[in-house]
Each structure stands twice: as C-alpha cells, then as structure tokens.
Structure 1
Amino acid sequence: MELTRSVVESKSAEYRAREPLYPVEQEGIDIFPEMFRTGSYGWRDAEWVVRWYYRRFLGEVPHEERQRIEDQFATNEFETVRAVIDDAVSAAEDTAAIERLTDLAGVDVPVASAFLQFVDPETAIVIGEREWTVLEEADELSAPYPNPPSVREYERYLDTCRELAERLDCDCWTLYMALWRLWKS
C-alpha cells in the first residue's frame, strides 16, 4: 500500500463521516490547544484525553484495564497535572514533553502522545499499534509496533509522521484520521 495525498484525503473524509467519536474529537481538536496553552482547562479536560486514548477503540480495550488506568490517573492532584501539562506545553523538545507527561500516574508514552496531539494537532500525533502498523505496511516504518513504545520510539514515529504529513501536504490530525481508517480497511 502506498500512502498518497488522495488516499489520505479520502480516508480522512471517511473517518469524519463514519467514526462515532469524530464530533467530540473534533471539538477537542478545536478547543484543547488554546486551553492547554493558556492553562484555561479543568480536571475533566485533562481526564478526557486519558479516557479518549482507550475509549477510541470502542470496547476493544477491556473495561477493567481501561478503568484501572483511568483510576490511576485520578490519583494525581490537579495542581500536579496542571504543572506537568504546563511543562509539556512549554518544552522545547517533544522528548522532554513526553518524559514530563509520563511523570503522571496513568500516563505512559501512548497516553502522553495523546496529550501532545491535543496540544498541537498540526504537528503531533498519537501513537498506537493501529497507526504504527499502517505505517509499517506502507514501508514508512521498518519494525513492528513496540509494545509499549519508548520515548525514543515515539520520537522516531513522530518524525516519520511529520515527514509524511509534509510530503502529503496535510496536518498530523488529518494523517491520524487516515491511518485509523486505513487500519480498518
């Protein structure tokens, strides 16, 4: 499979038309970047990102596993969450942002990448086995999904996605939607 601009355009349009979470995701994409940059968010906004990471699979992640992680995140003090997100937003490097976010209970590299996506959907993209697998099958990545991915592996994935987005003249949010639908194909 070759990833082309027309494939990304058609698959991202398919995502917008068919994915049941798209309306609330798009709302998050529209409002969270500003909220996270200015600090004008509440506990539920940060919690939403953690919940979204697992709930986007629409039940494929066992309830007990998802609930355990959400409960872990709930043990963080809000002021700690705010300080960590502020540090991630102002980090000069993506690696530093991911490392700082993983200081929170319930946040591993994939969940941290979800925060980055909602901080800057133009240039950041969430990591997961689905998205990685599509890129591997398209010969954009050369190794299978590392479960769980390290910060370094996320950085390699993010660099690949950014290069691909630039080549295909799209933002990372559009690329994410296309990769998600391509996995389902």
Structure 2
Amino acid sequence: MELDCSVVDREARAYERREPFHEVERDQLETLPDAVAAGDVTWKDVEWVVWWYFRRHLGAYPHRRRLDVEERFRSNDWEDVREMVEAVGKVDTDEERLACLETLDGVDTGVASALLQYLRPDAYLAVDERTWDALRAAGVLSTPYPDPPSTTAYQRYLERCRTLAERCDVDLQTVYRALWRLGGDES
C-alpha cells in the first residue's frame, strides 16, 4: 500500500463519516488542552482518554486487559494525576512528557501517547497496533508492533507520523484518522 497524501485525505474523511467516536473525539481535542491551560481539567476528562484508548476498538480489545488498566488508573490519587498532567506542559522533551505520565498506575507508553494526543493534539498522536500496522503496511515502519511499545518505539512511530503530516500539509489528527482507517479491515 502506498501512503500518499490523497490516501491520507480520503481515509481521514472516511473516518469522520464512519467512526462512531469521531464527534466526541473532536470535542475532547478542542476542549481538553484549554481546560488544562486554565487549570480546569477534571478527573473525568483524563479518565475519558484512558477509557477511549481501549474502547475505540469496539470490543476487539481484550476485555480483561482493558479492565485491569482502567482499574489501575482509577487507583491513582487525583492530585498525582493532575500534577502529572500539568507537568507535561512544563517539560521540554517527548521523553520527559512520556515519563511524567508513565509514573501513574495503569499508564504505559501506549496510554501515555493517548493522553498526549488529547493534551497536546498539535504535537502527538496515540500509538496502537492498528495505526502502527498501517504504517508498516505502507513500508514506513519495518518492525511488527511492539506490545507494549517502548518510548523509543513510540518516538520512531511519532517521527514517521510527523513527517507524513508535514509532507501532506495536514495536522497530526488527520494522520491519526487516516491511519486508524487504513489499519482496520473495513478501509
């Protein structure tokens, strides 16, 4: 599969028409960064992202594993969560941002990448097997999805996504939507 800009555009548009979470994702992408900047982020805002990371698979993600992560995340103290979310805006590198979030129970690199997608949608997008496999099928990544992904693997994925966004003159969320569609069976 060739991953040219017309494919990115077509698949991102298909995502907007067909994916059931598109409207709520758009709302969260628009409101969560402002809520964090204003100091108005809530537990529910952050928990929603953890919930979204697994449930967007519409039942295809192993139920027990999802529940385990969600329960572990809920065991975090709100002050710790709030502090780490705020810390994301105060550190300088991708590695530091991931490390801040990964101090929380239930947050590995995949979940941290989802949190970053919603906290800083201009600079990050979530990594998962489906989007990784879309890049691999296009020859952009050469290795199978590392489950769970390491920080290094995420950085490699993110760099490829940023390059694609720049080449196609689109934002990272457009790239995410296209990769999600391309990584599924129905695209």
Partner of 2:179: 179
Partner of 1:87: 87
Letter in 1 for 2:153: E
Displacement after TM superposition at 1:39 (Å):
2.4
Is 2:70 aligned against 1:70? yes
**Equivalents in 1 of 2:140, 2:66: separation in Å?**
30
CA distance in 1, matches of 2:116, 2:177: 16
Give 1:34 shift.
1.3
Identify which range, 59-68 or 24-33, moves more after superposition.
Answer: 59-68
1:50·1:70 contact (CA, 8 Å) conserved in 2?
yes
Q: TM-score, structure 2 length as denominator?
A: 0.95
Q: CA deviation at 1:52?
A: 0.5
* Aligned counterparts, 1:31-42, within 5 A: 31-42=31-42
1:147 maps to a residue whose letter is D
1:99-123 deviation digits (Å, cap 9, x = unpaired)? 1101000101000000110012122
* SS of equivalent to 2:89: helix
Opposite residue 135 of structure 2, the aligned amino acid is: L
Whole-angstrom distance in 2 between the partners of 1:37 and 1:138: 37
Residue 102 of structure 1: aligned partner = 102
Q: Give distance in 1, aligned partners of 2:156 and 2:80.
A: 28
Q: How does 1:1-185 map to 2 (within 5 A)?
A: 1-184=1-184, 185=187
Identity over aligned pairs, percent = 44
Q: Which runs of 4+ in 1 moved over 4 A?
A: none
**CA RMSD across the alignment:** 1.0
Letter in 1 for 2:98: I
CA displacement at 1:58 relative to structure 2: 0.6
- State the TM-score, normalized to the length of structure 1: 0.96
Q: Which amino acid aligns with 1:168?
A: C
Q: Following the alignment from structure 1 to structure 2, what is the Cα–Cα distance between the partners of residues 37 and 129?
A: 31
Q: What per-residue deviation string (whole Å, max 9, x for no partner) do you get for residues 9-57 of structure 1?
A: 1111100000011111111111111112332111100100100000010
Query: Does structure 2 retain, via aligned residues, the 8 Å contact 1:36–1:89?
Result: no
Larger mean CA deviation between 62-71 and 134-143 belongs to 62-71
CA distance in 2, matches of 1:90, 1:161: 24
Residue type at the aligned position of 1:87 = A
Which has the higher mean CA deviation after the structures are superposed, 54-63 or 10-19? Answer: 54-63
Letter in 2 for 1:116: L
Provide the secondary structure at the position in 1 that maps to 2:65: helix
**Amino acid in structure 2 at the alignment position of 1:167:** R
* Displacement after TM superposition at 1:151 (Å): 0.7
The 1-side partners of 2:152 and 2:40 are apart by 30
Q: Whole-Å Cα distance in 1 between the matches of residues 37 and 55 of structure 2?
A: 25
Structure 2: which 5+ runs fail to align? Answer: none
How far residue 175 of structure 1 moved from its aligned partner, in angstroms, is 0.3
Distance 2:62 2:140 in 1: 30
